[in-house]
Structure 1
Amino acid sequence: MSGGDDMETAERPVIAATRTTKRRGPRFSRADRTPLGLWFWEIDRVLLLLVSMLIAIGLVAVAAASPVAAQKLSTSSAALDPLYYFYRQLMWAIVGVPVMLAVSMLPKPQARRFAIYGTIAFMVLLFLVPLAGTSVNGAQRWIGSGAFRLQPSEFLKPFFAVSLAWILSLRLHDQSLPVVPLAAALTGVVALLLMGQPDLGQTVIFAATWFVLVLVAGLSMRIMGMLAGSGVALLILAYFFYPVAQQRINIWLFAEGDSFQVDKAHATLTAGGLVGTGPGAGLAKFQLPEAHTDYIFSVIGEEFGMIACIAIAILYLAIIVRVLVRLLDEEDSFLILAVAGLIAQFGGQAVINMAVNTQIFPSKGMTLPFISYGGSSFIALSIGMGLLLSLTRRNPYAARVSMTRNWNKK
């Protein structure tokens, strides 16, 4: 009996150790303090899910629009695969999603430095576009050629928004610093370079981002009124002295000139009714120029219906609201400005594209974020969303401690 008792006693630690091993938590438990574990618990997983849904929808939309673009580029001797642009977009997604996740893992100070260095690099490239740029469809906006071609203005957008936020946040530390004129001057330089390409749509996005940032920075209503008046005056000057702007405004307001693109976009958008013709069954899209880029929203309308278009608009709205809710209890002025600038840029681009497709805005040649085809656009958006995810990361333990302290004070 004693030998049996001794054997039973000897086995107990082994059994206990085995049970302890089995009770070990999941790989990303709240006790995991590794960089990857911290990222998992600090990242806004709801925002990441919404963006993932948008990317998945974009792949389906590009697959629907790809046959149109492939047919137009095919020749009698060489026909492109109908899904050529889908395969390329899938490749960009395979590259872009890891880039987004990698950027989202940056600590906030490193994300800010990354944005500042990115701004400097792509400002230099933007200056080089008039000298060594590549022209496509009458617009000189790219550097390089073929598979190695990129659009500096697309990459500059997210970096520029964060850099402007950093400049304007310095005003809270020293009121004497001329940060607002400096931010205005930098935006003006970018706008002049973009107008020369010409790229009216990107100019509007950069100017709108700057306006949102100075608004959030807390400038007086008198100054904001002056800025708004200056913006209206610049639009009037652009109409009279900038032929591209005049042409598009005349088509939009007075139906003067060639309105083929916007007319076909509206006809394609409404051709599918509420539920659409079905995937691959659309016919109006074959009359649509740039079906896989600027007017992909119209292709979605034809094949998946107006209900799908409304759902996509709601998804964009949900992303914007989610980010703004994340800012409600934020106290860091730089983070507030940077996140506001990034989400204003993202949401503004989506609104402009959808408004152009529905003839609410004049044509601007702007892609629909994460849905339109484009390598530069997708990678740049991935960087921007990565910065947004990085800057909105929250430590759940710190939030819990703060709530406990506030409760104890009461």
Structure 2
Amino acid sequence: MRALRTMFSRGDRTILGRWFWTIDRPLLGMVLLLMGIGLIAVAAASPAASQRLSGANYTYADLYFLKRQVIWVAIGLPVLIAVSMLPKLWTRRLALLGTAGGLAALAALPFLGDEGTNGAVRWIIIGGSQVQPSELLKPMFIVTTAWLLAFRFDDPKVPAIPASGLLLVLIVALLMIQPDLGQTVLVSSIWVAQAFIAGLSATLLAILIAIGAVGILMAYLFVPHVTSRIDRFITGEGDNFQAERSIDAIRSGGLFGTGPGEGQAKFSLPEPHTDYIFAVIGEEFGMIACLFVAILFLAIVVRVITQLFDEDDPFVTVAAAGLAAQIGLQAFINMIVALDLLPSKGMTLPFISHGGSSFLALCIGTGMLLSLTRRSRFLTRAAEPEMRLGAT
């Protein structure tokens, strides 16, 4: 960031200059730091992931997943920056178009989707790569929901909460057809938080929480793989392989870790480069590194919230809060699953886990967050000396 400061003066009126002096640079810096940590973590997990997926002999030079992650970062970072340059109007338009496209893709999954584990159909194969529509839909839905809820601030009689609620119900129905309980819980929780910011009453909030609890109970009773995961988590009996291997990896690392490339427990860890990459960080870099990652995610959420205290636009407030909640809540779920405090959800650690559609979706969502929280105060301050000179 310091190098960039020397490139642009405060009075720079070019597109890049205006972007640099209006963007939330601390927030962008924390996201870039997470991406850097992700490259290191994927490099540590790559040999283990290659061995588990190929079943063949491996070497530490086998960094297939790291090479792929470098490609995703090379694609995702320009996307993030490009989206962050959009004016608010175009960010909202992008969200509306993305929501419509995401809903169409979710509806097409039963017919065009590729079946994964437990019979779940969550991916579409495009050009040899798996694309998960629900990941790309999340940030679009969050901003679209904020746009709908913002109408309530202009006219409290507008049924903004019921309208956005109907959109949520449609998405939840499409997600449960897959089925994908983890994404359903995440999207629903974010919507509840946004609706509460928009004025949802405490009574309705309690009712919605009760409905959510009933929904989870129904999934437990009627969705076999959900039943199995929850039973294993509660009783500790049966095939609890994933949780046991994750805890073994974290324990073997202790406070300071075994050192880069020295971890051995990761080779028996399921999905070490995606769902359980937090355990790889714990084994090779220690619990102190895990704590640093957790604090970094918390700092991102706190940064966004504090920036919104001075925000006058309700649309920006609700949208930015929702996008920050997505990053924070998804990271929280991934980390506590790795610590065996929650049943496995198949959810990635934002910006750190290896991924394609998940990583790109996070870059788009963060670009939207940076776009919506851009402030013109820097340009205003830069123009003040010129105004004073003109006045004299």
Calculate the TM-score normalised by the size of structure 2: 0.92
Which residue of structure 2 aligns with residue 20 of structure 1?
none
Moved more, 27-36 or 60-69: 27-36
Equivalent residues of 1:150, 1:376 under 8 A apart: yes
Contact 2:196 2:205 in 1 (8 A): yes
Partner of residue 257, structure 2: 276
The CA deviation string for residues 160-184 of structure 1, in whole angstroms up to 9 with x for no partner, is 1000010111122233322212212
* In 2: Cα distance, 1:240 partner to 1:70 partner: 36
Percentage of pairs with the same residue: 52
- In structure 2, do the counterparts of structure 1 residues 397 and 313 end up closer, same or farther at CA, with 3 Å as the change threshold? closer
Amino acid at match of 2:342: F
User: Does 1:386 pair with 2:349?
Assistant: no
Structure-2 residue corresponding to 1:170: 151
Q: Does 1:129 align with 2:109?
A: yes
2:63 paired residue number:
83
- The letter for the 1-side match of 2:12 is D
Q: Kindly state the Cα deviation for residue 98 of structure 1 after the two structures are TM-superposed.
A: 0.4
Secondary structure, counterpart of 1:47 in structure 2? helix
CA deviations on 1:339-392 (whole Å, 9 max, x unpaired) are 011011110000000000011111111000000011111111100110011011
Q: State the Cα distance separating 1:400 from its structure 2 match.
A: 5.6
Is this contact kept in 2: 1:134–1:145, CA < 8 A?
no
Q: Distance in 2 between matches of 1:146 and 1:107?
A: 32
Aligned-pair distance for 1:110?
Answer: 0.9
97-106 or 67-76: which moved more?
67-76
Q: 1:247 corresponds to which residue?
A: 228
CA distance in 1, matches of 2:339, 2:331: 12
User: Does the C-alpha gap of structure 1 residues 393 and 249 become closer, same or farther in structure 2, counting only changes over 3 Å?
Assistant: same
1:194-213 correspondence to structure 2 within 5 Å: 194-213=175-194
Q: For the residues of structure 2 that align with 1:64 and 1:178, how far apart are their CA atoms?
A: 50
**Aligned equivalents of 1:399, 1:241: Cα separation in 2:** 58
**Alpha-carbon contact 1:74-1:80 (below 8 Å) kept:** no
Question: Residue 70 of structure 1 is aligned with which of 50, 53, 59?
Answer: 50
Shift in alpha-carbon separation, 1:267–1:146, aligned structure 2, 3 A: farther
Which is higher, the Rg of structure 1 or of structure 2?
A: 1
- Which residue matches 2:207? 226
Structure 1: gaps spanning 5 or more residues: 1-24, 402-410
- CA 1:81/1:198 → structure 2, altered by over 3 Å: closer, same or farther? farther
TM-score (norm 1): 0.88
Residue in structure 2 matched with residue 55 of structure 1 by the alignment: 35
Following superposition, the deviation at residue 72 of structure 1 comes to 2.1
Classify the secondary structure of the residue corresponding to 2:131. Answer: coil
Within the alignment, does 1:184 sit opposite 2:174 as a pair? no
Partner Cα distance (2:126, 2:102) in 1: 17
The answer to whether 1:235 aligns with 2:216 is yes
Q: Of the candidates 59, 68, 90, which is equivalent to residue 110 of structure 1?
A: 90
Give per-residue Cα distances to partners, 1:141-177, cap 9 Å, x unaligned: 1112563331100100101100001011112223332
- For the residue of structure 2 that corresponds to 1:144, the secondary structure is strand
Q: What is the CA distance between 1:231 and its match in structure 2?
A: 1.7
List structure 1 runs of 4+ shifted beyond 3 angstroms: 75-81, 145-148, 397-401
Q: Which residue of structure 2 aligns with residue 293 of structure 1?
A: 274
Worse-matched range after superposition: 242-251 or 319-328: 242-251
Structure 2: 5+ residue runs without aligned partners? Answer: 383-392
Aligned residues: 378
- Alignment check: 8 A CA contact 1:73 1:80 kept: no
Asked if structure 2 preserves the Cα contact closer than 8 Å seen for 1:62 and 1:296, the reply is yes
Q: Distance in 1 between matches of 2:83 and 2:126?
A: 27
Contact 1:154 1:380 (C-alpha < 8 Å) held by counterparts: yes
Alpha carbons 1:143, 1:149 under 8 Å: kept:
yes
Contact map agreement 1:71 1:82 (CA 8 A) in 2: no
One-letter amino acid matched to 1:191: V
Could you say if the C-alpha distance between residues 360 and 29 of structure 1 is closer, same or farther in structure 2, counting changes exceeding 3 Å?
same
Corresponding residue for residue 304 of structure 1:
285
